[in-house]
Amino acid sequence: MRRYSPPAVAVAAFVLSMAAAGCDSGADGGDPAPADTTLAGLAAKHDLLFGTAFDANFATLEPGYRDILGSQFAVVTPGNSMKWDATQPSRTTFRYTNADAQVAYAEGRGMKIRGHTLVWHSQLPSWVSAGNWTKQQLMDILREHVQTVAARYKGRVYAWDVVNEPFEENGTRRQSVFQRVIGDDYIALAFQWAHEADPDARLYLNEYNAEGLGAKSNAVYALAQQLVAAGVPIHGIGMQMHVTETFYPSTNDLLVNMRRIEDLGLDVDITEMDVRLQLPATQTKLAAQASIYRGVLDACLAARNCRAFTIWDFSDAHSWIPSTFPGFGAALIFDEEYRPKPAYWAIRSALEK
């Protein structure tokens, strides 16, 4: 086991494994690597999809980025291009330029696509959030959005984060425009509409800070229970897993939560994991980060209903953390030069078991 390999050895081993995998720096990314040398291939042996988010400008990025993106993952999530502000910037305009490019990229490599996200209070254009809507008007708008975007990718997006971040930290409903104007039912309606538009897609409710046990995860669980009881087409809970070196769920709490969700007949995916560090990132912090990734992956591997493990981009060169949380960074499993970090080796060693 090489859980915390010294960086120099780790880099050499990774470069060798990528070379053995036939990775190149071709214009459109590396050739698919032999399955058993990649994170995707190792995870497949556990019936687990290993994924990453990526952004639409991938084609212009460094060869190092393209090689890893093109070879290591079984599923990709467009980081921004399927959000409401991107897909429906005005009431009468639907726009899919970046989303279509990302879907085509993934399909060209046999990767699955996770759609993200149909209903969210953020990256929501002001024509929606600032409108003075009646309940019926906003229901019409929501239905049109959900059905149009889900139908666009029917049969191509295998899973959708239908509703994103509907709760506050204390477990009450977030007072988004949808909650305020439509009321509690907007969530069930969105799932129903998404299901009508793409009956084969797996439909998820996605949330952050609701991975372990607490008020917020209890609220997600209670809602899931209600939706299942009401026959709403929901198939899983997405656990975003944006955590820090000091704030993360224990493997045990995670597993307890995953298992109660399994008892409802629902899947549970890790959808956006990163572990942000207060900079500078020391070796000690990188080792702690590795064991946090490992603890989450261990829970996912132990839970029968955890089907996917997705990180929110893979290299510290392209992460949302530094601009959103000033002073934090180094949150992913490859460094800014695309060298594997201790977290990469910790993940690998869990998958190699």
Residues forming the active site: 165, 272
Least CB distance to ligand XIL at residue 102 (A): 13
240 binds ligand XIL (CB under 6 A): yes
The phi, psi pair for 276, rounded to 5°, reads -80, 140
User: Which of 349, 197, 347, 175 is closest to 270 using CA atoms?
Assistant: 347
Q: Return the residues of window 84-113 that contact ligand XIL according to CB under 6 A.
A: none
- Residue 80 binding ligand XIL, by CB under 6 A: yes
* Nearer residue to ligand XIL within complex by CB, 312 or 345: 312
Segments in the chain forming alpha helices (H): 7-20, 39-44, 63-71, 84-87, 97-108, 126-129, 135-152, 177-181, 186-197, 215-229, 251-263, 283-302, 321-324, 342-352
x/- mask, ligand XIL, residues 27-46, rule CB under 6 A, reads --------------------
244: contact with ligand XIL by CB under 6 A? no
Token representation of residue 93: 């305009």
Whole-number Å distance between alpha carbons of 344 and 314: 10
The distance in angstroms from the start CA to the end CA of the chain is 9
If the CB atoms of residues 94 and 325 are measured against ligand XIL, the closer one turns out to be 325
Report the residue number, 86 or 138, with the smaller CB distance to ligand XIL. Answer: 86
| Token digits of residue 95 | 């726009």
Interface pick for ligand XIL out of 272, 293, 316, 346 (rule CB under 6 A): 272
Q: Does 212 bind ligand XIL (CB under 6 A)?
A: no
Q: Which of 79, 295, 340, 342 binds ligand XIL (CB under 6 A)?
A: 79
45/39 Cα distance (integer angstroms): 10
The strand pair at 236-239 and 242-244 is best described as: unpaired
316 binds ligand XIL (CB under 6 A): no
Query: In the set 81, 164, 192, 349, which binds ligand XIL (CB under 6 A)?
Result: 164
Q: Which residues bind ligand XIL (CB under 6 A)?
A: 79-80, 164, 240, 242, 272, 320
